[in-house]
Amino acid sequence: MAFRSRREKLRSILSGSDCVHPGSVYDAISTRIAEDLGFPLGMFGGSVASLAVLGDPDIALITLTELAEQMRRMSRAAALPVLVDADHGYGNALNVRRTVQELETAGAAGLTIEDTLLPAGFGESKTHLISLEEGVGKMKAALGGRSDPSLVIMGRTGAASITSLDDTIRRALAYEATGVDALFFTGIKSRTELEAISAATRLPIVLGGAPEELNALDHLASQRVRIALQGHAPIAAATQAVYDTLKTLREGTAPKNLKGLASSELTSRIMREADVKSRSADVLGLKK
């Protein structure tokens, strides 16, 4: 399959002994930049997907179709393996199956399915989890929807910040038993919690946001953490840059006097201009 090598690279990270930081990506350009800089993996988060596609906050407004189409654009642009935050799978367990099918054909190297109750219910301001039984059903459906066995499917829970450490471990063990490839945790607050989770489980671990004491890659690696997210700074930086540039132009600065713009060399490299010119010479008879 066309995307199998990307998925095998992600599996190699999970089966290795090191912990890596993925590059936060959200569109074709950011994915190419992360690949050019040598990131071993891209992370396509739900919050950046909602912001990049809709300009909306991360409150489960983006649809599966929109997420998959954006992933398809990113897959076309670069060969970087990308792990996709597939939220709750966009519905019940049957919807989860469809989510896996769509993201697999869109080129994702892996995806996460979480047990958060989404979207928020009427009158509910607090985050809730679905039942353990429903969570297990979603993991089984995700695995059943996979056609390419190299596609990585991760069971994700935020129980550490919503219910308890004991519930986190209980859910992790149940998801592990379904046959998922890795466990993704958010809300872990200390080394003690991570060590308890690591001791109770056996699958590779992926960490979402974590406190400063969980930043040391050597300690994370010793606890079987193979991927540790660093938030989504790139889209925040891009937003600020666009804002500042448009504001400066609006205030009357001439385009030639703008600061901080990408050089023509960098832009040319990101758009793969040399490759396009070479192909144009070969098939259109144009001069290189």
Q: Specify the CATH architecture of the domain 4-232.
A: Alpha-Beta Barrel (3.20)
Q: What does the domain layout of the chain look like in residue ranges?
A: 4-232, 260-288
Mean pLDDT of 33-49: 97
Max Cα separation, the chain?
67
| Model confidence at 1: pLDDT above 60 | no
Q: Residue 45: left if φ>0, alpha if ψ -120 to 50, beta else—which one?
A: beta
| Model confidence at 288: pLDDT above 70 | no
| Model confidence at 83: pLDDT above 90 | yes
At 287 the pLDDT is 77
How far apart CA 142 and CA 269 sit, in angstroms, is 38
Model's pTM, two decimal places? 0.95
- Please, are residues 107 and 71 in contact by the beta-carbon 8 Å criterion? yes
- Please, are residues 111 and 141 in contact by the beta-carbon 8 Å criterion? no
Question: Tens digits of per-residue pLDDT, 180-211?
Answer: 999 999 999 999 999 999 999 999 999 998 88
Question: Tens digits of per-residue pLDDT, 123-163?
Answer: 988 999 999 999 999 999 999 999 999 999 999 999 999 99
Mean pLDDT of 241-258: 96
- Please, are residues 162 and 129 in contact by the beta-carbon 8 Å criterion? yes
How far apart CA 117 and CA 24 sit, in angstroms, is 24
| Model confidence at 71: pLDDT above 60 | yes
Is the pLDDT higher at 152 or at 1? 152
For residue 119, whether the previous peptide bond is cis, meaning omega lies within 30 degrees of 0, is: yes
